[in-house]
């Protein structure tokens, strides 16, 4: 039987390269790290291939014997938690069962909180930190940087405004020290049983800003509407690819007979829908493409009355550059023209590849 210390194993994996985003520990493979979206095996003496016993040991050490984690794993087949190596880094961890064996994926949380400028995000996003109420949603697939963007916005507010901020996370990722603001971070499982109950309680904790890690269910979204309608700024995420799909997801959570009322409430409360995708950069690394939909008369009208012939949110975003809006395909075209990504990548990630191809027709195919 092989014995190892979990911190030592994780640090050896972290030393395998730069810009590591995730660690992947699965039965039948060597320990792996993800760099720029690609998994790479790491040779570790004594662990050429992970066996069921190895991943079980890893899972138990990461959970630290906490009964709540063990119960969640048994009940749901997976559990989310945070793990820290003091003085080194922190991880967002998901432990799950597959084919009856344990597996774990650890997202590396960078030390310190990056600024919006350091992340290379559009200047328009700095305006979110000045909002006094409403809903801001940051959307995108897993691993697209949603949590990091929200952390940068929260940090901007924290440094500039003497307000109370409450975050509700599963698990807590970035640790925010008090600056101008007073910031309280609550973790699902440890500090509250669910997003919806924690959000409901937050309304009694006198915050000006509430960050909800994810809009997972009807009750959470309903309470977020209530918070925004009563003068709070609510920041959250959804796993949707663009503004249009975000509107559909929020409305679709509710029963059909409530859809029109939900459209009214969403149109009245949303301030921004920011959607992110990470793309492979020419020469290595990745770059974020960011779509921004802002609350304007036109976008509110389309949310309220629905899209249709000649009523596309994509068109509204495309035409709203003077208001700070930008669409994915506009960003992709500019990235191609600037040599940041190649033409094939742009077309692969485009919302409308046909239209984007026509827009780039003047470019040399070579």
Render each residue's pLDDT in the chain as its tens digit; 366 residues.
455 689 999 999 999 998 899 999 999 999 999 999 899 999 998 889 999 999 999 999 999 888 888 888 999 999 999 999 998 999 999 999 999 999 999 999 988 899 999 999 999 999 999 999 999 999 999 889 999 999 999 999 999 999 999 999 998 989 999 999 999 999 998 899 999 999 999 999 999 999 999 998 999 999 999 999 999 999 999 999 999 999 999 999 999 999 999 999 999 999 999 999 999 999 888 999 999 999 999 999 999 999 988 889 999 999 999 999 999 999 999 999 999 999 999 999 998 999 999 999 998 655
Cα-based torsion angle of the residue sequence 226, 233, 172, 200 in order, rounded to the nearest 10 degrees: -20
Instruction: Give yes or no for a contact between 216 and 195, defined as CB atoms under 8 angstroms apart.
Output: yes
Q: Which residue's entry shows tokens 């640090």?
A: 11
Pick from 244, 247, 334: which is nearest to 289 by CA? 334
Q: Which residue's entry shows tokens 């603001």?
A: 181
Pick from 226, 320, 318: which is nearest to 269 by CA? 226
String of b and e for 22-40 (b: at least 16 CB within 10 Å)? bbbbbbeebbbbbbbeeee
CATH class of the domain at 6-109: alpha beta
Pick from 45, 49, 65: which is nearest to 57 by CA? 65
The DSSP call for residue 82 is E
pTM over 0.75, yes/no:
yes
Instruction: Give yes or no for a contact between 316 and 243, defined as CB atoms under 8 angstroms apart.
Output: no
Q: Which residue's entry shows tokens 């973790």?
A: 187
What is the enclosing helix (H) or strand (E) of 126? none
| Domain 123-326 coded CATH 3.40.50.300 | yes
Domain boundaries along the sequence of the chain = 6-109, 123-326
């Amino acid at each position: 039987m092989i014995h190892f210390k979990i911190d030592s194993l994780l640090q050896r994996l972290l030393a395998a390269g730069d810009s590591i985003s995730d660690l992947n520990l699965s039965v039948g493979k060597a320990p792996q790290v993800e760099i720029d979206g690609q998994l790479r095996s790491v040779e570790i003496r004594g662990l050429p291939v992970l066996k069921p016993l190895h991943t079980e040991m890893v899972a138990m050490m990461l959970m630290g014997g906490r009964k709540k984690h063990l119960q969640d794993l048994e009940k749901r087949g997976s559990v989310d938690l945070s793990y820290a190596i003091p003085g080194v880094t922190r991880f967002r961890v998901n432990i799950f069962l597959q084919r009856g064996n344990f597996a774990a994926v650890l997202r590396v949380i960078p030390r310190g909180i990056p600024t919006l400028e350091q992340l290379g995000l559009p200047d328009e996003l700095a305006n979110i930190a000045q909002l006094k109420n409403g809903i801001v949603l940051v959307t995108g697939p897993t691993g697209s940087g949603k949590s990091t963007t929200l952390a940068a916005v929260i940090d901007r507010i924290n440094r500039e405004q003497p307000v109370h901020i409450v975050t509700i996370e599963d698990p807590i990722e970035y640790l925010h020290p008090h600056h101008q603001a007073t910031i309280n971070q609550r973790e699902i499982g440890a500090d509250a049983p669910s997003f919806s109950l924690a959000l409901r309680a937050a309304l009694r904790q006198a915050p000006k800003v509430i960050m909800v890690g994810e809009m997972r269910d009807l009750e959470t979204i309903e309470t977020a509407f209530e918070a925004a309608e009563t003068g709070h700024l609510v920041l959250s995420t959804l796993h949707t690819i663009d503004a249009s799909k975000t509107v559909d997801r929020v409305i679709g959570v509710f029963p059909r007979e409530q859809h029109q009322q939900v459209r009214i409430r969403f149109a009245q409360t949303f301030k921004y829908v920011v959607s992110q995708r990470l793309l492979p950069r020419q020469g290595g690394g990745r770059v974020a493409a960011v779509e921004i939909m802002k609350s304007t008369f036109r976008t509110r009208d389309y949310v309220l009355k629905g899209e249709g012939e000649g009523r596309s949110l994509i068109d509204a975003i495309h035409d709203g550059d003077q208001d700070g809006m930008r669409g994915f395909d506009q960003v992709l075209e500019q990235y191609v023209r600037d040599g940041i990504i190649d033409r094939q990548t742009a077309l692969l990630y485009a919302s409308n590849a046909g239209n984007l191809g026509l827009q780039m027709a003047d470019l040399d195919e070579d």
